[in-house]
Amino acid sequence: MGRKMRRRVKGSPFRLAATPGVQPNRSLFSFSSAPGLPTLRILNVLETITRSAEFLARKGVDSPRLQVELMLAQVLQLPRLKLYLNFDRTLEAGQLDQLRTMVKRRGDREPLQHILGTSCFCGLEFAVNPSVLIPRPETETLAQRAGEHLKRLAQHGEGKRFPVADLGTGSGCLAVTIAAESPQADVTAIDVSAEALAVARANIDRHQLAGRVKIVQSDLFRSVPPERFDLVVSNPPYIPTNVLAELQPEVRDHDPRAALDGGADGLNFYRRLAAESPAYMGTDATLMAEFGDDQENAVTTIFREAGWREDRIVADLSSKPRIIVARCPVT
């Protein structure tokens, strides 16, 4: 499983290797007395981007230019591509200062999303902070499959409402996307972390879905009022505990441990999902859960042995098995 995260170490967005050919300490981007702290003496957009990207490359940050452009776009309150029409624009001292602080944070391997305060998921913008997992592209496949499933249900039950549970909602990215895409769904967003639920609440409000997404603080279903859900989705913590230390700094030091740590073999949450969910699901209800690399067989076995009928395994956009779709045993 750890390979899912190790793959991220090698690939975007946080590759560890420096960009080849970058010359350190170019004249317009020197270092102040604070070690590693860049002093930007550049006055225009293009030079600022170039020198800041060189600094980030030396710090081992992947896609450094793109990352600088995104930070500078926020500072200047411009769409990123508009920077290209403003290369000669002179930056004010306050703007340079603001960018310099952001670039330093990124150079210290703080995730870009924490610096910007937002993350994009399925084309929607979500507030994020260190209390929640930064939504991952793999999880967009889960949101899409849930949307397709609810569409099929809606075709056979016109006017009917479909209760959906999102277990371990974090930022609320799945709950909000599902509610936004599926007008007949009423979503319960569940998390054990009050801090995570505060972020989920902000995102539910941001997308004006408070009428259809409610939040419940609960250890799995334990504090959820009795209800029979038609669909349960979950992206649980699934990293084996002993792999956590190997993750890249952006993940290891900045994503909440409760969002990552799946216990000794990474599978604790699946055992509980398989055992505890049926009491909250209707006849023939469906569960869709994300899992990590190399966990397909173990997760499938857990659900099969608990009496679930496996519908299928869905691959993510990199063609890796990523989601189990299973139908609830009769309770």
Ligand X SMILES: C[S@@+](CC[C@H](N)C(=O)[O-])C[C@H]1O[C@@H](n2cnc3c(N)ncnc32)[C@H](O)[C@@H]1O
Please name which of 225, 9, 244 lies closest in space to residue 109, comparing C-alpha atoms: 9
Please identify, using beta-carbon distances, which residue of 56 and 220 lies nearer to ligand X: 220
Neighbours of 80 (CB within 10 A): 14
Minimum Å gap between C-beta 218 and ligand X is 6
User: Which among 307, 304, 309, 292 is positioned nearest to 136, based on CA atoms?
Assistant: 292
Comparing CB distances to ligand X, the nearer of 57 and 190 is: 190
Q: Which long-range contacts (CB under 8 A, 24 or more apart) does 118-122 make?
A: 119/171, 119/173, 121/171, 121/173, 121/177, 122/173, 122/177, 122/181
Distance CA 43, CA 89 (A): 8
Least distance CB 204 / ligand X (angstroms): 13
**Residue number, 24 or 225, with CB nearest to ligand X:** 225
What is the per-residue DSSP string for 263-327? -TTS-HHHHHHHHHSGGGEEEEEEEEEE--TT-HHHHHHHHHHTTPEEEEEEE-TTS-EEEEEEE
We find the least distance from the C-beta atom of residue 131 to ligand X, in angstroms, to be 8
Q: To the nearest whole angstrom, how small is the minimum distance from the Cβ of residue 127 to ligand X?
A: 13
What does the buried/exposed string (b/e) look like for 277-300 if buried means 16 or more CB atoms within 10 Å of the residue's CB? Answer: bbebbbeebbbbbbbbbebbeebb
Distance of closest approach, residue 291 Cβ to ligand X, in angstroms: 11
C-beta atoms surrounding 257 within 10 Å: 11
Least separation in angstroms between CB 48 and ligand X: 32
Nearer to ligand X, 70 or 220 (CB): 220
Output the six-digit token pair for 158.
Answer: 């016109």
* Nearest residue (CB) to ligand X, 47 versus 261: 261
Residue placing its CB nearer to ligand X in the complex, 103 or 189: 189
Which CB sits closer to ligand X, 217 or 283?
217
266 token code pair: 């990474």
Nearest-approach distance from CB 2 to ligand X, in angstroms: 14
The amino acid sitting at 293 is D
β 213-217/185-191 pair status: parallel
| Residue 323 beta carbon to ligand X: minimum distance, rounded to whole angstroms | 12
- Comparison of 75 and 128: residue with beta carbon closer to ligand X: 128
Q: How far apart are CA 270 and CA 250, in angstroms?
A: 26
Q: What share of the chain is helix, strand, coil (3-state, %, to 5)?
A: 40, 20, 40
- Interface contacts to ligand X, rule CB under 6 A: 132-133, 135, 139, 167-171, 173-174, 190-193, 196, 219-220, 235-237, 258-259
